[in-house]
Chains A and B, each alone.
Chain A
């Protein structure tokens, strides 16, 4: 058991190191931050001096090694664009992304389960068919298009919601939250729908197909024969038994909600880490890009590691 865990942790660390190496190799192709940092009236010497100062004249392997070395000491470097420690900026931006991911996760899960159940029990009804068709649109339209459509409909034409940003936020220590103000809550609606729509359709389809299988099982038939109400059969007996794969998928999807918030954040000018990353690409802000990518891969690797360890806990056959 212990050797299994050690082996998994070791593999996870290796994956992290490789992700970092690939990221740093890529930075060479993103361009050069120098022109963004120096103005129009820069000279060749200015360029050479700044390059040397930032260590950009060295091979990417050396840059990467230096990054890892200082990251291990808790120093993620200083943003080229903002001239502030990257760690401070990430801490500042994280609440926006995490709150958005949490709300869209809840939205995707509740609506996905409800719609999944509806489409499963009324398989050929008009409502179920319309939901299925709409969900097809949901998976096939790109996120940014859905976002823009929602903005034009609900912000520009109907003026129900604001078109961008987080609304008013309240600071609780280091954490800024949009949950405590009306405008903050309203601001969460459109981006959460945009971000969660894909996951919602995914969960809905998963619940539906699981339900269809479960509803054919003998114990459902017996439950009905016992004279239980349709509601009790559906929710207490059928739905409960479909939850295991749903929970697994939701857990894994939480990571992608955070990681793929980039596009939603850009469309809604949502001040989270994804938007920060996009700006960093434009500016070639290498310390920010590196820290963000490492953070996201730590998150994914972490989630997978936990899932793997949970399997061990659940499945005795793995404990050899």
Chain B
């Protein structure tokens, strides 16, 4: 492996001398591991998508397309899926890809030591039919299974076993934490954790390369001002993200431009549904007003999302009516209206619910998790004050924020959600389902929203093969969480990348940066 990389690095060093297309980019966080099964987080999976591949992959428009599998079809009446594997694919170290690697990667990624285990909750068994056919059996019909495994990356069984990395080791690391051996378009030629990671194209890649990069280096730069300066001075070719307040400056300058888009992440307000009393209030011991749907509706009407988008997001984001953005599978097109901004109506609703004089409560907010999160919460506080309810804002770093939410220390809170499967079922499972740790449902439903009909519909959605019937059930769930105002979805978070003018790239709503679509003139 090392010898191979050394050889390819030398040959590339010669190649770069003739036409240097070294691409340098920077992001805020370094992928903490090179092990595709150890950590289920966007920085890691996004980065490793350049190195490893799954059976399927996502195209420029997020659609599922063949990768290591050339085709797949359901088995019987939804007993599982058969994947026909691509022949002639080799790993970076030269080993051949076959069905054993798929089985091995399933066992590795679904192991207790892996962070990606939950992707395989529906899987009951994986069977190798022949060298290039694999059956993945599910305990119930699972129509979106191929969609849900786009980030499940295949590792060479021989390589992992030879290097004592048959299982991921998150706590103390192993060979696969620092080294990688995928089938993807790029090979990691140098890895210095926290400093730089260098990639070179994989000569033996099965697909035709669209990019013209001969070498790519990634540097984490966590100070946003430094990242912008690095882009403006030409020390890097691309940064993600550009702070919203610097976007116009980057765009108007010669040599650099901003690439804007919409992320898959919806920013919303959540309520403490389950709590009988408010935690942070002057009216101690009295009933929690947010248990009254009229109060929740009043909150939705009191918030002027357009004003937030115009001032705080500077026109980069889009208002949202649901827990997923319109680009996601299962979006309910018929239910796309969010409650109009109507402070008078909000006041009337509050009066009707018996809170004509308002009340005070605590709003918890992170200050370093989402784009301008604290500023958004301040705006929300101001807007709620205008209809007479007084939020006491408590903003904190995200490291403190999640433990606080887990301990139920909030009356209202801010949350962003990006569906890992790019399907509406995902936020329903995590945010709307009644919390149930045994069934692994509602694990991010901090407020404890609970609706029997949603709980009844979710398993049906998960196993419905017919797209029309599935969408009808999702529409019903959306209708419920909208009319119940379980959450107040506000907007879809923007993506703001900065690049040099000579760089062409593709921005995907999952905020993954895919190197094989980068060309430099």
Contact = CB atoms under 8 A, between A and B. Distances in A.
Contact of A82 (B173, B223, B397, B398): B173
A155 B235 contact: yes
A269 B170 contact: no
B195 to A, nearest CB: 5
Interface in B13-72: 32-33, 38-41
Interface string B57-94: 00000000000000000000000000000000000000
Interface string B246-278: 000000000000000000000000000000000
Interface in A33-76: 33-45, 47, 53-54
Contacts of B173: 78, 82-84
Interface string A100-118: 0000000000000000000
B325 interface: no
Interface string A256-285: 000000000011110100001011001110
A151 interface: yes
A284 B400 CA distance: 10
Interface string A132-167: 000000000000000010011001100100111100
B233 A162 contact: yes
Nearest to A82: B193
Contacts of A164: 219, 221, 226, 229-230, 235
Interface residues of B, number: 50
A53 B235 CA distance: 42
A41 B232 contact: no
A166 B37 CA distance: 32
B24 to A, nearest CB: 10
Nearest to B429: A41
Most A CB contacts (10 A, CB to CB) among B177, B222, B226, B398 go to B226
Interface centre among A43, A45, A268, by most chain B C-beta atoms within 10 angstroms, is A43
Given A37-B39, A82-B173, A165-B219, A267 B226 contact: yes
A99 interface: no
Contact of A41 (B118, B397, B398): B118
A244 to B, nearest CB: 40
Instruction: State the majority secondary structure of interface residues on B.
Output: loop
A21 B140 CA distance: 53
B399 interface: yes
Interface string A271-310: 1000010110011100000000000000000000000000
Given A31-B403, A284-B399, A148 B177 contact: no
A41 B169 contact: no
B222 A82 contact: no
Interface string A9-44: 000000000000000000001111111111111111
B399 A32 contact: yes
B443 interface: yes
Nearest to A35: B402
Contact of B229 (A36, A53, A156, A282): A156
B223 A266 contact: yes
Contact of B194 (A40, A45, A276): A276
Given A32-B403, A164-B235, A278-B222, A83 B32 contact: yes
B420 interface: yes
Tell me which of B39, B195, B430 has the highest count of chain A C-beta atoms within 10 A of its own C-beta.
Answer: B195
B11 interface: no
Given A31-B400, A78-B173, A267-B223, A39 B233 contact: no
Contacts of A32: 399-400, 402-403
A33 B399 contact: yes
A38 B33 CA distance: 12
A283 B193 CA distance: 14
Interface string B156-189: 0000000000000111110001100000000000
A82 B40 contact: no
B234 interface: yes
B402 A42 contact: no
A42 B440 CA distance: 9
B115 interface: yes
Given A156-B232, A164-B226, A31 B443 contact: no
6 contacts: A39-B116, A41-B40, A42-B443, A80-B171, A81-B32, A82-B33
Given A41-B40, A78-B171, A151-B229, 18 more contacts: A30-B399, A35-B398, A35-B402, A38-B115, A40-B40, A40-B420, A41-B420, A43-B443, A45-B437, A78-B173, A83-B170, A84-B193, A151-B226, A155-B233, A165-B219, A269-B220, A282-B222, A284-B399
